[in-house]
A and B are shown apart, each in its own frame.
Chain A
């Protein structure tokens, strides 16, 4: 049973528009959420995170929103750029910082110019 779900395998967006990637989770013990970005032939790289005590975290063009009651988080990228085209993984952690992350299946974002 998947604890972290990314139900959209792919998303296509035009350059300059907003990209919204969604993630749902089932484990109410998760207290830290992260987004990773992965290019082909490379390992995932950390993008942005949010603690369960917050509902929003912003870093430049990237904003993560957390809705604890709905067990839902989303990553907003605005404006989207062609270089943002990659696979985006949502991940969650429960308990102590640095413990094992649980990942979703990923969403492939394609940004066209």
Chain B
């Protein structure tokens, strides 16, 4: 596998469920990100992990809980979500400190909260 892989691609969950989104990067990057894309809105930065430490938490509700166990894996744990949390959740990775490479995005998880 190459690039950034996100699973599952689609997820439907009830408001009382607990689920997790998974992201894996095979690029040797040292930073990983979660973005949320809602209809007619910009991609919203949620969390940034650099060298496995969370360096940014962009005022995200506590019902979203990220986890970065190593530089290749990133999770987003979900619980007690609201219907307005339905969106496309995108993971990205990049290499910091060695010039600008931009991000490599995964294909996203389309989340529907019912």
Q: Give chain A's interface residues, CB within 8 Å of chain B.
A: 2, 4, 9, 32, 34, 36, 41-46, 49, 51, 89, 93, 96-106
A4 CB to closest chain B CB, in angstroms? 7
Please tell me if the beta carbons of B42 and A93 are within 8 angstroms of each other in the complex. Answer: no
How long is the Cα–Cα vector from A34 to B104 in the complex, in angstroms? 12
Determine the residue in chain B with the shortest Cβ distance to A32. Answer: B100
Determine the residue in chain B with the shortest Cβ distance to A6. Answer: B42
Q: Give the secondary structure class of A's interface.
A: loop
Please tell me if the beta carbons of A97 and B100 are within 8 angstroms of each other in the complex. Answer: yes
Determine the residue in chain A with the shortest Cβ distance to B108. Answer: A43
Interface string of B22-33 (1 = CB under 8 A from A): 000000000101
Total contacts A-B at CB 8 Å: 65
B43 at the interface (CB under 8 A from A): yes
B60 CB to closest chain A CB, in angstroms? 13
Please tell me if the beta carbons of B90 and A98 are within 8 angstroms of each other in the complex. Answer: no
Provided the pairs A42-B107, A98-B94, A100-B48 are in contact, do residues A34 and B102 lie with their beta carbons within 8 angstroms?
yes
B81 at the interface (CB under 8 A from A): no
How long is the Cα–Cα vector from A103 to B92 in the complex, in angstroms? 13
Q: Give chain B's interface residues, CB within 8 Å of chain A.
A: 4, 6, 31, 33, 35, 40-43, 45, 48, 56, 90, 92, 94-108
How long is the Cα–Cα vector from A78 to B9 in the complex, in angstroms? 34
Which residue in B48, B90, B95 is a CB contact (below 8 Å) of A44?
B90
How long is the Cα–Cα vector from A25 to B50 in the complex, in angstroms? 26
Chain A residues whose C-beta falls within 8 Å of the C-beta of B6 in the assembled complex: 43
Please tell me if the beta carbons of B105 and A45 are within 8 angstroms of each other in the complex. Answer: yes
Please tell me if the beta carbons of A106 and B108 are within 8 angstroms of each other in the complex. Answer: no
Determine the residue in chain A with the shortest Cβ distance to B90. Answer: A43
Which residue in A9, A34, A41, A103 is a CB contact (below 8 Å) of B43?
A103
Determine the residue in chain A with the shortest Cβ distance to B102. Answer: A46
Chain A residues whose C-beta falls within 8 Å of the C-beta of B96 in the assembled complex: 96-99
A93 CB to closest chain B CB, in angstroms? 7
Which residue in A2, A51, A101, A106 is a CB contact (below 8 Å) of B103?
A101
Please tell me if the beta carbons of B56 and A100 are within 8 angstroms of each other in the complex. Answer: yes
How long is the Cα–Cα vector from A97 to B108 in the complex, in angstroms? 24
